[in-house]
Structure 1
Amino acid sequence: MSESKVYELDRLAETLESEKSKGRKVVLCHGCFDLMHPGHIKYLQAAKKMGDVLVVTVSPDRYVDKGPGRPVFDERLRAESLAALECVDYTAVNQWPTAEETLRRLKPDIYVKGQEFERLEDKTGKIQKEYQVLQEIGAEMRFTHEIVFSSTELINKYIKD
């Protein structure tokens, strides 16, 4: 069942155009989502409340920069796991190192990040570039204020030997 919510990006762009033509507000979340945890679930549930359609894109395996042995789960499995959540309407695997081109193609109404990005700062500089694209396409950036966990810290603390 969840596999039916996993789309290729071009097909998803067409689907979202149709959703928007019906007056539905499209919300996009993007990330690695390597180890699903309660923080992810709360974040996605909060994002869903900001619009009508929740889309989640995952970083492709080749661009995950979380350290050796990551991602733990491959891109397809991560997308399918997200699709299994009731609050998620569509998932896809991003094809680029950042979400910039995905934002341009999918044109969400709202792009949602966790509160840890609220100052538009991160050590990679990705959030600043994504914000610039949102300005280009006329989309809004919003932030959730849910419990935050780090998958990397959880893996290092509880799973690695």
Structure 2
Amino acid sequence: MSDAKVFDLATLAEKLKEEKARGRKVVLCHGCFDLMHPGHIKYLQAAKKMGDVLVVTVSPDRFVDKGPGRPVFGERLRAESLAALECVDYAGINEWPTAEETLRLLRPDIYVKGQEFEKLEDKTGKIQKEFKVLEEIGAEMRFTHEIVFSSTELINKYIK
């Protein structure tokens, strides 16, 4: 695993200010990423192509709302796993239940989600709140169109 690219959010915010000052376009992906699978990798590779710098933040363990026994892997291990991917430039652990404050702090140019969120609907209501923050900070939301898997379904079918 690689932790050389994992930073706390305050440090990440400073690093991203520097990247933007150099004219680089910052792309942010956020999620649980509890079980890394090909869908995640394709999604992150597609997101990287949308800008110059790819940052991925993970939901902190205490706010993962995927059911009992989740996350399977702790926040630090999930962030380090993401950082080990060549396409990921920086990784971090969110501090809040949603990505709203992370978006305000990191101020990406582009926020990327998978196509399953393209209608701006999810049962938690998080995507709608995130979209409002993107409007507030002047960032763009984009969607990937890659193969989709559900970590929850994979864990329930093959691990539990």
TM-score by length of 2: 0.99
- Mapped to 1, the partners of 2:117 and 2:88 lie a distance apart of 21
Is residue 97 of structure 1 aligned with residue 103 of structure 2?
A: no
Which position in structure 1 is the counterpart of 2:53?
53
Which position in structure 1 is the counterpart of 2:112?
112
- Mapped to 2, the partners of 1:2 and 1:108 lie a distance apart of 23
- Mapped to 2, the partners of 1:74 and 1:154 lie a distance apart of 17
Which position in structure 2 is the counterpart of 1:75?
75
Say which SS state the counterpart of residue 98 (structure 1) adopts: coil
- Mapped to 2, the partners of 1:68 and 1:121 lie a distance apart of 24
Number of corresponding residues: 160
- Mapped to 2, the partners of 1:149 and 1:3 lie a distance apart of 26
- Mapped to 2, the partners of 1:109 and 1:61 lie a distance apart of 27
Say which SS state the counterpart of residue 55 (structure 1) adopts: strand
Which position in structure 2 is the counterpart of 1:5?
5
- Mapped to 2, the partners of 1:73 and 1:3 lie a distance apart of 15
Deviation sequence 1:76-135 (CA, Å, 0-9, x none) = 000000000000000000000000000000000000000000000000000000000000
- Mapped to 1, the partners of 2:60 and 2:139 lie a distance apart of 23
| Consecutive unaligned residues in structure 1, runs of 5 or more | none
- Superposition pairs for residues 14-33 of structure 1, below 5 Å? 14-33=14-33
Aligned-pair distance for 1:2?
2.0
- Mapped to 2, the partners of 1:75 and 1:129 lie a distance apart of 23
Say which SS state the counterpart of residue 92 (structure 1) adopts: strand
Is residue 123 of structure 1 aligned with residue 151 of structure 2?
A: no
- Mapped to 2, the partners of 1:152 and 1:38 lie a distance apart of 14
Which residue identity does 1:53 align to in structure 2? V
- Mapped to 2, the partners of 1:37 and 1:144 lie a distance apart of 16
Aligned-pair distance for 1:158?
1.0
Which residue identity does 1:42 align to in structure 2? K
Task: Give every structure 1 segment of 4 or more consecutive aligned residues whose post-TM-superposition deviation is greater than 4 Å.
Answer: none
| Consecutive unaligned residues in structure 2, runs of 5 or more | none
